[in-house]
Chain A
């Protein structure tokens, strides 16, 4: 494995981590708002708060890690993506900022008007939509090289079916991932009412998430044929992913082993996400930027990888401690202990 591949693998892994934890977060906000709308908030509120409160900040770091890492390992990407993504990413930052701070304001500051809950729920859906534009652009065809530098063609971007397929995919995936996780979590907390409600959400969102994922592959056939054929070469990864998906839905349907269902779901997205990533190789931005011509110098790459390994050596035990104390602490999860500051 070359340094370039190690670099992109590490970053892709963190992006995958962000996709999972952020989906849980965004989806939780949406379900919380939706249940308020349907007068069922008393069912979900406690479970969601108990999960989110100690970890909300950590979620954000996964994203920061990814974008700092990509500039570190692939500095040229700052030039191409930085120049073109000013507007969509700025919108995402603003939404993330409002969302993150109002979460703290409401949870710790006791600011609780209903409209914030709605805004909070909706903002969670706009963020994946605005961030997923990066994936669309990476397929090529939306950026042209102007005299002064790369220029993003908004008209082509917003009229492309590929854009909207990716947006819809991100939304359905967010809701599906979140519902499955929360079903397991509510069950673990012995909260029957919340489990049943979330289980129904999970089942509802499973089908659209599968259909949109397949839809993307069809779209790509027309948009970027080269990428499409590479995807087809990895058909077995997608087949496995679909199998995992079937397992998740089956277990949910049978009301059995929610923990295993969530594990299968993680496996499903891991396979699909990595198959997509591998098929994208070697391009960071088709056809301008490959991971080879944008890679940093060797001295920097090695020092980044050393720091990364050392950092993980400290991070993994700390994350484990966090999970141990909250996520896997029965007393805490079931609400027998709060001990909040």
Chain B
């Protein structure tokens, strides 16, 4: 296998692993916060339904964490196996956040084990709730640190290159690079948002499939409220991210927006199809791109004409960008209408079709996460470290990558199918009604004992 093929297969394998991993990782970052909120509300309102919500979410969460942990280990090692030259270089500059991420992961692992096995152990339920804080913090901080590594790849800094040698390294400066604030914030809020909408989807699905229990209604109401907060924050931070791109990665923004020529008062192109250099069937919003980029309708936005051919990312990222933004806006609308409807008592909120929309919203948010990552990663091509190292210079020289791709693809198929099967079985077998009845019996038994 030649180098070109090794690069190609390394890229496919990395993309496959990450695409699979982020499904579980996003859930892993978002759900602990949701569990924490549910348990807190349950304690505060003294409402058993919310406590049970936390308990059942935790049970499902363990399954997703397991797959998240093992696929995370896979991508951690694959970075060195598939991109040894890259890891050698960044090991000198940005090993610190990688190392910090492991510590965050360690805390999460320790306290998750404790949390899962101390239900009903403490007299005071608030003590048990306290254990969730390190879990949620650990989960969010591992996302923060690993996103810092990724933002470094987009805007490398904190070192100098003199005669091909890297000198004057500052690990902290490398961490607080320009891409870091928007990227970290965006990753966190989208993870919370997606987790909220996935949980809402599950609740809505149970309501559709026969169970009309108040438990599910509370679940949907709570998670959609959270979903709305986080999706609005997502849109706000997304806007900052757009301004960041205009400033630091204009070629990514220009490629995403099919903005070929540098101009003032640039229009925003929504949807459409690219035919050669010609954009067809698109919606043009005048001045919108300038507003997005600089908050000024007449600002000049750099176009693709300013870049060398070999530095321009694939123009197909426009479709990814559009999908991401469309899903984000749709989710804001969906949750906003739901809450207004609840408040104004609009009957259609409880209709079948609206509940189906909520059900679709869960997977849709996850698709938003996927396309968002594809957009940001493909938009950085042909660089692995923007402006410093090209992707093909970083890849392994091993000739076995294609075989490993098959190996890992089968693994992910197995893990995906296994986790879906186990999760659906878990909750079908033990319904809420059943569990509430069991707990009542248990409590009666306890008071009988004493």
Distance in Å from the Cβ of B388 to the closest Cβ of chain A? 15
Per the bound structure, the CA–CA distance linking A96 and B408 in Å amounts to: 12
Per the bound structure, the CA–CA distance linking A246 and B121 in Å amounts to: 41
Per the bound structure, the CA–CA distance linking A61 and B113 in Å amounts to: 13
A75-116 vs B, Cβ < 8 Å mask (1 yes, 0 no): 110111111111101110110111011111100111100000
Quick check: is B414 within 8 A (CB to CB) of the other chain?
yes
Quick check: is A148 within 8 A (CB to CB) of the other chain?
yes
Per the bound structure, the CA–CA distance linking A319 and B134 in Å amounts to: 13
Assess the A82–B87 pair: CB atoms within 8 A. Answer: yes
Which A residue sits closest to B58, measured CB to CB? A341
Residues in A with CB closer than 8 Å to B418 are 101-102, 105, 111
Residues in A with CB closer than 8 Å to B401 are 86
Which A residue sits closest to B84, measured CB to CB? A82
Which B residue sits closest to A338, measured CB to CB? B117
Q: Which of B168-176, B286-294, B355-363 touches A?
A: B168-176
Quick check: is B55 within 8 A (CB to CB) of the other chain?
yes
Distance in Å from the Cβ of A224 to the closest Cβ of chain B? 24
Residues in B with CB closer than 8 Å to A151 are 397
- Decide: A60 near B77, CB < 8 A? Known: A109-B425, A339-B117, A339-B118: no
Distance in Å from the Cβ of B81 to the closest Cβ of chain A? 5
Quick check: is B110 within 8 A (CB to CB) of the other chain?
yes
A53-73 vs B, Cβ < 8 Å mask (1 yes, 0 no): 111111011011101110111
Distance in Å from the Cβ of A124 to the closest Cβ of chain B? 14
State the interface size on chain A (CB cutoff 8 A): 75
Residues in B with CB closer than 8 Å to A72 are 91, 95-96, 98-99
Assess the B114–A57 pair: CB atoms within 8 A. Answer: no
Assess the B411–A97 pair: CB atoms within 8 A. Answer: yes
Contacting B419 at CB < 8 Å: which of A65, A96, A105, A299?
A105
Contacting A83 at CB < 8 Å: which of B55, B166, B396?
B396
Assess the B169–A300 pair: CB atoms within 8 A. Answer: yes
Per the bound structure, the CA–CA distance linking A58 and B116 in Å amounts to: 14
Per the bound structure, the CA–CA distance linking A75 and B159 in Å amounts to: 16
Per the bound structure, the CA–CA distance linking A56 and B109 in Å amounts to: 9
Assess the A105–B116 pair: CB atoms within 8 A. Answer: no
Residues in B with CB closer than 8 Å to A55 are 113
Distance in Å from the Cβ of B209 to the closest Cβ of chain A? 20
Distance in Å from the Cβ of A255 to the closest Cβ of chain B? 31
Assess the A315–B408 pair: CB atoms within 8 A. Answer: no
Across the A-B interface, how many residue pairs have beta carbons closer than 8 Å? Answer: 243
Distance in Å from the Cβ of B216 to the closest Cβ of chain A? 20
Which residues of chain A from 279 to 308 have a CB within 8 Å of any chain B CB?
296-297, 299-300, 303-304, 307-308
Per the bound structure, the CA–CA distance linking A58 and B95 in Å amounts to: 22
Assess the A109–B110 pair: CB atoms within 8 A. Answer: no
Contacting A101 at CB < 8 Å: which of B66, B77, B171?
B66
Residues in B with CB closer than 8 Å to A80 are 84
Assess the A149–B397 pair: CB atoms within 8 A. Answer: yes
Distance in Å from the Cβ of A10 to the closest Cβ of chain B? 11
Which residues of chain B from 90 to 148 have a CB within 8 Å of any chain A CB?
90-93, 95-96, 98-103, 105-107, 109-121, 134
Q: Which of B68-76, B200-208, B229-237, B266-274 touches A?
A: B68-76
State the interface size on chain B (CB cutoff 8 A): 81
Quick check: is B62 within 8 A (CB to CB) of the other chain?
yes
Which B residue sits closest to A81, measured CB to CB? B80
Assess the A90–B404 pair: CB atoms within 8 A. Answer: yes
Distance in Å from the Cβ of A139 to the closest Cβ of chain B? 20
Quick check: is B262 within 8 A (CB to CB) of the other chain?
no
Residues in B with CB closer than 8 Å to A308 are 99
Per the bound structure, the CA–CA distance linking A100 and B66 in Å amounts to: 7
Per the bound structure, the CA–CA distance linking A166 and B212 in Å amounts to: 61
Distance in Å from the Cβ of A299 to the closest Cβ of chain B? 5
Contacting A110 at CB < 8 Å: which of B99, B415, B426?
B426
Which residues of chain A from 208 to 250 have a CB within 8 Å of any chain B CB?
none
Quick check: is A193 within 8 A (CB to CB) of the other chain?
no
Assess the A83–B397 pair: CB atoms within 8 A. Answer: yes
Assess the A299–B88 pair: CB atoms within 8 A. Answer: no
B48-69 vs A, Cβ < 8 Å mask (1 yes, 0 no): 0000000100110011011101
Query: For B55, B59, B397, B401, which residue has the most chain A Cβ atoms within 10 angstroms?
Result: B397
Per the bound structure, the CA–CA distance linking A110 and B424 in Å amounts to: 12
- Decide: A87 near B404, CB < 8 A? Known: A75-B92, A297-B169, A339-B117: yes
Distance in Å from the Cβ of A158 to the closest Cβ of chain B? 15
Assess the A60–B73 pair: CB atoms within 8 A. Answer: yes
Per the bound structure, the CA–CA distance linking A90 and B397 in Å amounts to: 16
Quick check: is A322 within 8 A (CB to CB) of the other chain?
yes
Quick check: is A38 within 8 A (CB to CB) of the other chain?
no
Per the bound structure, the CA–CA distance linking A149 and B84 in Å amounts to: 11
Query: For B72, B99, B423, which residue has the most chain A Cβ atoms within 10 angstroms?
Result: B99
Which B residue sits closest to A83, measured CB to CB? B84
Assess the B87–A68 pair: CB atoms within 8 A. Answer: no
Which B residue sits closest to A103, measured CB to CB? B66
Distance in Å from the Cβ of A134 to the closest Cβ of chain B? 12
Assess the A86–B74 pair: CB atoms within 8 A. Answer: no
Per the bound structure, the CA–CA distance linking A93 and B63 in Å amounts to: 18
Residues in A with CB closer than 8 Å to B166 are 297
Which A residue sits closest to B103, measured CB to CB? A311
Quick check: is B407 within 8 A (CB to CB) of the other chain?
yes
Per the bound structure, the CA–CA distance linking A319 and B107 in Å amounts to: 9
Assess the A104–B74 pair: CB atoms within 8 A. Answer: no
Per the bound structure, the CA–CA distance linking A311 and B142 in Å amounts to: 14
The list of the 9 closest CB pairs from A to B, nearest first, reads: A75-B91, A72-B95, A104-B66, A82-B84, A109-B422, A78-B87, A97-B70, A54-B113, A82-B80
12 contacts between A and B (CB under 8 A): A57-B69, A58-B110, A75-B88, A82-B84, A86-B82, A91-B407, A104-B66, A108-B62, A111-B421, A303-B171, A315-B110, A326-B113
Residue ranges of A at the interface with B (Cβ–Cβ < 8 Å)? 53-58, 60-61, 63-65, 67-69, 71-76, 78-87, 89-91, 93-94, 96-98, 100-105, 108-111, 146, 148-149, 151, 296-297, 299-300, 303-304, 307-308, 311, 314-315, 318-319, 321-322, 325-326, 332, 337-341
A108-B59, A108-B62 are known contacts; what are 6 more A-B pairs with Cβ within 8 Å?
A78-B80, A78-B87, A78-B88, A97-B415, A325-B117, A339-B119
Residue ranges of B at the interface with A (Cβ–Cβ < 8 Å)? 3, 55, 58-59, 62-63, 65-67, 69-74, 76-78, 80-85, 87-93, 95-96, 98-103, 105-107, 109-121, 134, 166, 169-172, 396-398, 400-401, 403-404, 407-408, 411, 414-415, 418-419, 421-423, 425-426, 429
